[in-house]
Structure 1
Amino acid sequence: MRTNALAAGETLVLVAAASAAVCLIALVLAMLLGGAGYPQITPGLPDPGMLTRWGLPVAKTVMDVSAALTFGLIVLAVFLLPVARNGELGEQAQGYVRAASWAALVWAGAAAATLVFQLSDILGRPVAEIVGNEITSYASSVPQGIGLLLTILGALGAALIGRVVVTATGAALLSLLVLVGMLPPPLTGHASSAGSHEMAIVGLSLHVASVALWVGGLAALFFHAMRGSGEHVPTAVQRFSTMALWAWIGVALSGLASAASRLTSVASLFTTAYGQVMLAKVAVFVILGALGWVHRTRTVPQITEDSGRRLFLRFAGVEVVVMAAAMGLAAALSRTAPPPDLNRATDAFRNLTGFSMPPPMSLRTLLTEWRPDLFFILVIVVLGGLYAAGVIRLQRRGDSWPWGRTAAWFAGLLVLGIALLTGVGTYSYVLFSMHMVQHMVLSMLVPILLVLGAPATLALRALRPAKQRGDRGPREWLTAFLHGWYARLVTHPGFATPMFVISIYALYFTPLFGTLMQDHLGHVFMNVHFLLSGFLFYWIIIGVDPAPRKIPFLLRIVLLLVAMGFHAFFGVAIMMKSEPLGMEYYGQFEVPWRDSLADDQYAGGGVAWALGEIPTMLVLIALVVQWARDEERTERRRERHSQRGGSEDADLDAYNAYLASLHRRTSQQQGQPGPEQPEQEPQP
């Protein structure tokens, strides 16, 4: 066994060395191909020097690889290996979380080095000439520096938390922290200046998440399979095979989005250095897809606890090395200048939003001026696909699912697409009134339809329990979430109602609205907030999914009327406001066919005031129907209880039994006979 352990250790060292060498070679070749390795230096202009020129991509590569390893080790511990029955991680899983904390320290150090090299590159001065206050100013005031600072803080937080986490829930939250910590640097790079902000930003975010899951997960799984004491290898391999397929799809979609946002034409793939490096990444991606297909068709079906590991390790080792080449190409691509967009410099509105000013608004333009927002396209496709898959699974199993819930769910997704992807979404960037139409639809109409679709109930019925008792599959994770403290908090009326009502005042009557409107991530944040706050509010009002607490119907009606009253007053307050809102955004461009900002804002206030009536009537109707059905179910329970010998009021019987038990307990404490104890004759 010692010989096998030594052989496994030698193989790990060999694969690690080969991966590092291939990654470095790919980085160097791509830097030379893209012209970033030896750029033309104009005499008299500042030059950061050779150390920065090559140190920056190397540091970024180390940062990306260590971040992926951190994420992959935690994914292995939480989602690939079985969880103990009490919700705690096994001994090996806890070891992988501790290993992830060490990888996070490397990640933080590489991010700090990247910050220094990046500042040197921007200032055009060697690293040795950079002083401390310049680093502090860069990390606190420049978007690129702030992004790296957030990554450093996230990595250090992951390193500290990883030392103490022992539960599956805690490790899952840690994986979310790691994933969020990886996003700021790429979002403040090329994506923030690309011609199509939506495609570039969302595509790059999806790319980072998919690559981290794919590369980090496979590297961690390869290490686990190499260990002679590695447990549950077949289970981990089968689970990762499914994850890797989705990661491959995510990389493909994000690659298409990145190419569409950065390349001006198909010919740019062959005529520009940026396109040629991207083609090299595509070639590596195709090779990885072929290796993944071999895994799914050959190694995964054959692997068991005793056999099949060698075949898996052989292909996995090659795949890890190829992935290392892809990471090197990615770092070099980030240092290669994309083709310039000649239209950006002549259009202020395009510089701000990523697209040209639309024509005057009409019914035709509302139907034709579509905006391909990749984030919400993915949201609609994923939510619709998962819901349809759940309904189909129930039907194949012979179970029924109400057609009305299915219709409500897909109607909600349809309205969501109309509000975000058609001309309504396009003109929401231009007119405050159309922005308010979008806001009202997202917060007060779409959530009603989605809540009536009962997605949690469908998921609990369609998802299969985990094969091993005590383990956590998708169904167990959903159940744990619905019964956890977070669900109890966000579904409490004291939280959901103020979030639905007060947040709109905090958004529109503070500078926050103008700040968020200037960035695509701000638009995404607002739209997601409108959806989630509306979904939580209407979930406690008319929701049919299982919730941590049941709210009386009379209280639901009161909450609905109070919330609608505040919304109506919000619309009136906007109509009465003399100063235009969001001038930090709307004041940066002129709309030749628009009326005055004051008139448009007055129209937006009227929209906020008027559109609240229709959702209120729909919800009241749904509440009356639900209340009537609840009374019918209660009456049937009373009749069944009465037939078994009880009274007609089951609740009254339960209350009387409770009072009787309290009386018996008090009598026993005082030494007096209870109602069921006959009083004895006094002794002479």
Structure 2
Amino acid sequence: MSSSGVRDTTPAPPGGTAPGADTAVTIGVAAIAGGAISLIIALVTGGAVTAEVIPGLPDSGPLTRWGLPVSTMARDLASALTLGLLVLAVFLLPLPAPEDKSGARPLGAQALGYVRAASWAALCWAAAAAATLVFQLSDISGLPPQEVMGNQLTSYAVSVSQGISLLLMILAATALALFCRTAESASSAAVLVVLAAAGMVPPVLTGHSASAGAHELAVAGLALHVLAIAVWVGGLAAVTFHGLRAGAQDAPVAAERFSRMALWAYAGVAVGGVASAVSRLYEPAQLFTTSYGLLILVKIALFAVLGAVGYVHRRATVPRITETAGRRLFARLAGVEIVVMAAAMALGAALSRTPPPPDDGGVPTPAESVLGFPMPPPISAQTLLTLWRPDLFFAVLVAVMGGLYIAGVVRLRRRGDSWPAGRLVAWLAGLLLMTAVLLSGVATYSMVLFSTHMVQHMLLSMMAPVLLVLGAPVTLALRALRPARRRGDRGPREWLNAFLNSRFSKVVTHPGVATPLFVFSPYVLYFTPLFGMLMSDHSGHVFMNVHFLLSGYLYYWTIVGVDPGPRRLHHLLRILLLLLAMGVHAFFGITIMMQTEPLAMSYYGQFDVPWADSVGEDQYAGGGVAWAIGEIPTLLVMLALLRQWAGDEERRERRRERHSRRGGSDDADMDAYNAYLQELDRRARAQEGPARAERPAPEAPAADQETPS
């Protein structure tokens, strides 16, 4: 019986004894030892545990100085293992062949065992996060851990951003520990993967990255770095254990799939790590002259070693994993890789306790403290084109969306299939518009001027989604992605189909949901304190822009979408929904213009824009933008909708002509109706025949009848 709760009945490969559970235990012990040694060396070198205690000042004590990085490392390892086990169960192991086409797809026996094992890892994750919460408060307050328990800890967890983020992580890990005991289907386990990934993000938003000058680079970079490492480390640990215990049955499939996933994770670790380092170091020389920079150099060296080992895995061990010698080589290389990964994660925990180099630029102005960058010069065409913002989240999003779309088109054309050039142009134009409003000077000035922010909002929610919807990305993906090799298994194409047919997709694409979300969410955002709260935090600002983009995409998908969806609306209903939404949006702009008090003064009142009009006048101009800018997308959507309607009528006419040539009438609908009436008449005659036979003969024939001879 394995530790995952599933009996291993697969015979060992011929030709010798393959490594098994003992090897997995050895690798785990070596990883813990290597991580502990690396953590101790990094903490001592970085000065996190050797800081001089000044008499008279509060000191949390050595237990907190050592306990906080140790609990942080344990939290990171447990969270990575939780995510890795779930990824293995849902995406790397093949699903069993379905017995029928109805109902949810159940997981296989081994995959279900890994989901159950993830519940124990999530429980350890929650415990380590709870310990981190206690040690963190002890470190901030300067009190020993035993003195911060009780009401002080509760108040910290619900009122301070760092405490709230850890509390959210604890709740997510606890929920995972419970739900992993009940999940049975592949879809429910996939939801748990999303929950595990989301549970890792909150502490990232309140750490060193949140205080960095370049918020757009630091926060997104560290979040990408943490998630990619979790997938890489946790996935490798889970796949290695599975390869050591599952024989040659499904191990080659899992290893091959993880090899492709690890390549993406490696790229994510690199991009996120570089972005995080650039946001914390103000000049290249600090890499060699500061403890923080030296720890980064060591992480870079370990990263290069991991890349070399991963290359050997991909070329040498993965193709030979079904052989005994290949499994031994795989176990040795995986063991080295896991130990090096544990050391790298220990360095990450030490970096979180090592103070970054100070900024020699002097005391930041109030605007710099709020915005993360100096107050920009007066707005002009030149500054809009030159003052670009390094927002890593949207830069990566645009690059991935564009790269995957072009790759799909290339795959279609290589196999001789065509793809309309208009759809390609529409998709690229939508990405270009996203780049212009999210990364250029428009993004810079949207942080200080409400009018520019409203331009960004309108283009993101009403113009870019139209172009993206007309690009038909779902149709392209369904045509370009290959079906799963095994019957009943789920690859990217099958997962996309499952999502399109899911209950969630049916709900969010319903006109009764998509239309109110698109039309009324601006009222909820701008006329409540929510707008000021989201503008004051970079992650809130990202959430707001993503909401604009997604709500617009869902709405226009129901109106003018080319991709297949759960339902198709009549063209007249689409026109009515379009006119309704545009009317409500115009009224929204008028409502802003009629405001007597400026909106979100909790944010705009923190700094002064010396070259701009007053906040009230600028917001009046923003209301005018919201009122006027809706005409352009309305005209574009109306033209596309009329063209689609005409195309549908043309296709229907061609079907009628084909039916007519086969002997039917010119109107297929009329033919069907006539056939229906003929069937009713036939049934009536069949029922009338027996009734006539039972009737008594008349006494005399009617005057207009003749007696047969």
> TM-score range with shorter-chain normalisation?
over 0.9
Aligned to 1:535: 553
Q: Tell me the residue number matched to 1:679.
A: 689
Say which is worse superposed, 412-421 or 77-86, in terms of deviation. 77-86
Aligned to 2:611: 593
Structural mapping, 1:274-293, within 5 Å: 274-293=292-311
One-letter amino acid of the counterpart of residue 119, structure 1: L
> What displacement does 1:678 show?
7.0
- Counterpart of 2:351 (choices 319, 328, 333) is 333
Change (3 A) 1:277 1:636: same
Name the counterpart of 1:465. Answer: 483
Map of 2:385 onto structure 1: 367
**One of 165, 171, 177 as aligned partner of 1:147:** 165
Aligned to 2:640: 622
The answer to whether structure 1 residue 56 and structure 2 residue 74 are counterparts is: no
SS at 1:312 equivalent: helix
Residue in structure 2 matched with residue 488 of structure 1 by the alignment: 506
1:94 to 96, 106, 112: 112
Cα shift readout 1:490-520 (whole Å, capped 9, x = no counterpart): 1111011100100001111111111100011
Q: Is the 8 A contact 1:5 1:227 kept in 2?
A: no
Deviations 1:233-276 (A, max 9, x none): 11111100010000000000011101111011111111111111
**Corresponding position: 1:103 with 2:121:** yes
The whole-number CA distance in structure 1 between the counterparts of 2:473 and 2:121 is 37
Following superposition, the deviation at residue 328 of structure 1 comes to 0.9
Alignment deviations for residues 87-122 of structure 1 (CA, whole Å, 9 cap, x no partner): 211000000000000100000001001100111111
- For 1:22-41, what aligned pairs fall within 5 Å after superposition? 22-41=34-53
Matching residue of 1:82: 94
Distance 1:578 1:469 in 2: 64
Ranges in structure 1 where 5+ consecutive residues have no aligned partner: 668-672
**Residue 397 of structure 2 aligns with which residue?**
379
How far 1:577 moved relative to its partner?
A: 0.9
Shift of 1:198: 0.8
SS in 2 for 1:71: helix
CA contact (8 A) 1:233 1:305 kept: no
Query: What are the superposed Cα offsets for residues 596-627 of structure 1, whole Å, 9 maximum, x if unpaired?
Result: 11111111011111111111111111111111
Residue pairs, 1:2-17, within 5 angstroms: 8-17=20-29
C-alpha distance in structure 2 between counterparts of 1:98 and 1:507, whole Å: 40
Q: CA deviation at 1:84?
A: 2.4
Residue 421 of structure 1 is matched in structure 2 by 439
Q: Residue 7 of structure 2 aligns with which residue?
A: none
Q: Specify whether residues 371 and 6 from structure 1 end up closer, same or farther in structure 2 by C-alpha distance, changes over 3 A only.
A: closer
1:29-81 Cα distance to aligned partner (Å, 9 max, x none): 00001000211111111111111110111111111000000000000000000
- C-alpha distance 344-500 of structure 1, shift in aligned 2 (>3 A): farther
The answer as to 2:191 corresponding to 1:190 is: no
Provide TM-score, normalisation by structure 1: 0.96
Matched residues in 1 for 2:520 and 2:92: separation? 41
Secondary structure at the aligned position of 2:693 is classed as coil
CA 1:93–1:657 in structure 2 vs 1: closer, same or farther (change >3 Å)? farther
Whether contact under 8 Å (2:74, 2:125) holds in the other structure is yes
Partner of 2:700: none
**Separation in 2, partners of 1:6, 1:299:** 14
Distance 1:349 1:547 in 2: 46
User: Which of 542, 566, 580 is matched with 2:598 structurally?
Assistant: 580
The 1:6–1:624 alpha-carbon spacing in structure 2 relative to 1, beyond 3 Å, is: closer
- Distance change (3 Å), C-alpha of 1:479 and 1:655: farther
Which of the pair has more CA radius of gyration?
2
Distance in 1 (alpha carbons) for counterparts of 2:339 and 2:677 = 72
Distance 1:298 1:575, change over 3 A: same
Match for residue 555 of structure 1? 573
Q: Residue by residue, what CA displacement relative to the aligned partner does 1:631-657 show, whole Å, maximum 9, x if unpaired?
A: 000111122222333333333444566
Partner of 1:511: 529
Distance 1:352-1:660 versus aligned 2 partners, 3 A rule: farther
Of the three residues 167, 178, 183, the one matched with 1:165 is 183
**1-structure distance, mates of 2:348, 2:108:** 35
With 481-490 and 449-458 compared, the bigger mean Cα shift is at 481-490
Q: Quote the residue 1:68 is aligned against.
A: 80
Which residues in structure 2 correspond to 1:118-157 (within 5 Å)? 118-157=136-175
Q: Could you tell me how far apart the structure 2 residues matched to 1:658 and 1:13 are?
A: 73
**Distance (Å, rounded) in 1 between the aligned partners of 2:414 and 2:482:** 14
User: How far apart, CA to CA, are the structure 2 residues paired with 1:516 and 1:56?
Assistant: 30
Equivalent AA in structure 2 for residue 53 of structure 1: R
Equivalence map 1:174-213=2 (5 Å): 174-213=192-231
Counterpart contact for 2:205–2:539, Cα < 8 Å: no
Distance 1:67 1:227 in 2: 23
Question: Aligned partners of 1:237 and 1:490: how far apart in 2?
Answer: 36
Q: Is the 8 Å Cα contact of residues 542 and 619 (structure 1) preserved in structure 2?
A: yes
Q: Which amino acid aligns with 1:502?
A: F
Q: What is the number of equivalent residue pairs in this alignment? A: 676
The Cα shift of 1:186 comes to 2.1
Contact kept? 2:252, 2:319, Cα under 8 Å: no
Give the deviation of 1:576 after TM superposition: 1.1
Preserved CA contact (<8 Å) 1:344 1:351? no
Alpha-carbon separation, structure 1, partners of 2:19 and 2:372? 55
* Matching residue within 411, 416, 430 for 1:412: 430
- Counterpart contact for 1:78–1:168, Cα < 8 Å: yes
- 1:648 paired with 2:648, answer no
Give, as a single letter, the amino acid of the residue that structure 2 aligns with 1:679.
G
Q: For residue 677 of structure 1, report the CA deviation from its aligned partner.
A: 6.1
Alpha-carbon spacing, 1:655–1:547, altered in 2? closer, same or farther (3 Å): farther
* 1:651 partner letter: D
Distance 2:41 2:379 in 1: 50
2:32 matched to which residue of 1? Answer: 20
In the TM superposition, residue 314 of structure 1 has moved relative to its aligned partner by 1.6
What residue is the counterpart of 1:502 in the other structure? Answer: 520
With over 3 angstroms needed to count, the CA separation of the structure-2 counterparts of 1:313 and 1:613, relative to structure 1, is same
- CA distance in 2 between counterparts of 1:227 and 1:369 reads 55
**Structure 2 counterpart of 1:670:** none
Contact kept in structure 1, 2:138 and 2:144, CA below 8 Å? yes
User: Cα distance, 1:308 vs. partner?
Assistant: 2.4
**Offset of 1:301 from its aligned partner?**
2.5
Task: Name stretches of at least 5 consecutive residues in structure 2 with no aligned partner.
Answer: 1-10, 99-104, 697-709
SS at the partner of 2:608? coil
AA at the equivalent of 2:29: A
- State whether residues 195 and 341 of structure 1, in contact with CA within 8 Å, keep that contact through their aligned partners in structure 2: no
Going from structure 1 to structure 2, the CA distance change for 1:631 and 1:587 (only over 3 Å counts) comes to: same
Distance 2:480 2:678 in 1: 43
Structure 2 distance, partners of 1:462, 1:7, is 40
Deviation by residue 1:285-331 (Cα, 9 ceiling, x = unmatched): 11101101111121123333776222211211111111111111111
Q: Deviations over 1:208-257 (max 9, x none)?
A: 11001000000000100110457411111110001000000000001110
Please give the TM-score of this superposition, normalised by the length of structure 2: 0.93
Q: Distance in 2 between matches of 1:403 and 1:437?
A: 29
Q: Secondary structure at the match of 2:469?
A: helix
